[in-house]
């Protein structure tokens, strides 16, 4: 008597659809939220005078007119001719981060409180794109706080959902960037180095998102393969059963 052929489980279950989204969409949105870095590189070439990555902040790339008010080089009139591109990228990146958080809401690093913090960070990015530094400096600083502190705090807390080296790496990265963010926002210790310190806070958060999304994708792929045989494996089972 031939053994029962293993049949793929239903692919229409909510669990399977959630795994599908993690496997095929998570890394895409994680990479797309890096658009802010690409926009920084692109808009910096049109910044006048020459953009200084050490002293000039990310927010200055979104200032839509020439002014001497924000550039740390006193009396220097700074112009960001592609400010709309930078602000649009901030909005787009924040939307991608929120969408990614929804996709990874059951995955390590994004579930429970860390997920809430990532949503706040995404909302902060969107608000920062709409409320630029030149439109209202005080309000701009306020709406950027969730992005500036939400990301590092989400990394630090989310790291405890992992084990081993990933937990250690995440905890170190999260708490160190959080400390840098506090120093940058509340003291003058980073004056003259605002651009560098700001990127040491923001960029690691963006990179961590890609790292976690890649791990979640790998785990989802493994789980999907366990639940549903790959086509080649299923075909071998059919052939083996036919020979019995």
> Greater confidence, 76 or 132?
132
The percent of residues above 70 in pLDDT, for the chain, comes to 85
State the average pLDDT for the chain.
86
Enumerate the β-bridge partners of residue 80: 47
**Across 16-20, 77-81, 194-198, 233-237, least confident range:** 233-237
Model confidence band, residue 228 (pLDDT cutoffs 50, 70, 90): low
CA-CA distance, 47 to 179, in Å (whole number)?
30
The predicted model scores a pTM of 0.85
- Closest by CA to 203, choosing from 22, 60, 33, is 33
Model confidence band, residue 108 (pLDDT cutoffs 50, 70, 90): very high
Q: Is the pLDDT of residue 14 over 50?
A: yes
- 2-11: per-residue pLDDT in tens? 444 444 445 6
**Across 36-50, 52-66, 89-103, 115-129, least confident range:** 52-66
Torsion of the alpha carbons at 176, 51, 41 and 96, rounded to the nearest 10: 60
Q: So what's the pLDDT on residue 167?
A: 97
Model confidence band, residue 73 (pLDDT cutoffs 50, 70, 90): low
């Amino acid at each position: 008597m031939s053994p029962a052929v293993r049949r793929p489980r239903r692919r229409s279950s909510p669990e399977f659809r959630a795994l599908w989204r993690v496997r095929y969409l998570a890394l895409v949105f994680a990479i797309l939220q890096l658009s802010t870095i690409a926009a920084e590189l692109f808009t910096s070439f049109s910044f006048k005078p020459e953009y200084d990555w050490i002293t000039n902040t990310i927010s200055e790339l979104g200032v839509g007119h020439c002014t001497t008010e924000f550039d740390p080089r006193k009396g220097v009139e700074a112009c960001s001719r592609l400010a709309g591109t930078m602000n649009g990228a901030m909005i787009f990146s924040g939307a991608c981060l929120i969408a990614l958080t929804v996709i990874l809401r059951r995955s390590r690093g994004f579930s429970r409180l860390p997920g809430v913090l990532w949503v706040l960070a995404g909302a902060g990015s969107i608000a920062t794109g709409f409320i630029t530094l030149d439109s209202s400096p005080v309000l701009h600083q306020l709406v950027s706080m969730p992005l500036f502190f939400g990301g590092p705090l989400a990394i630090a807390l989310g790291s405890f959902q992992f084990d081993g080296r990933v937990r250690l790496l995440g905890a170190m990265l999260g708490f160190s960037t959080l400390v840098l963010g506090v120093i940058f926002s509340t003291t003058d210790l980073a004056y003259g180095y605002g651009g560098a310190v700001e990127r040491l806070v923001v960029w690691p958060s963006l990179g961590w998102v890609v790292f976690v999304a890649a791990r979640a994708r790998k785990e989802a792929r493994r789980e999907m393969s366990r639940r549903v045989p790959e086509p080649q494996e299923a075909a071998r089972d059919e052939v083996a059963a036919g020979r019995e």
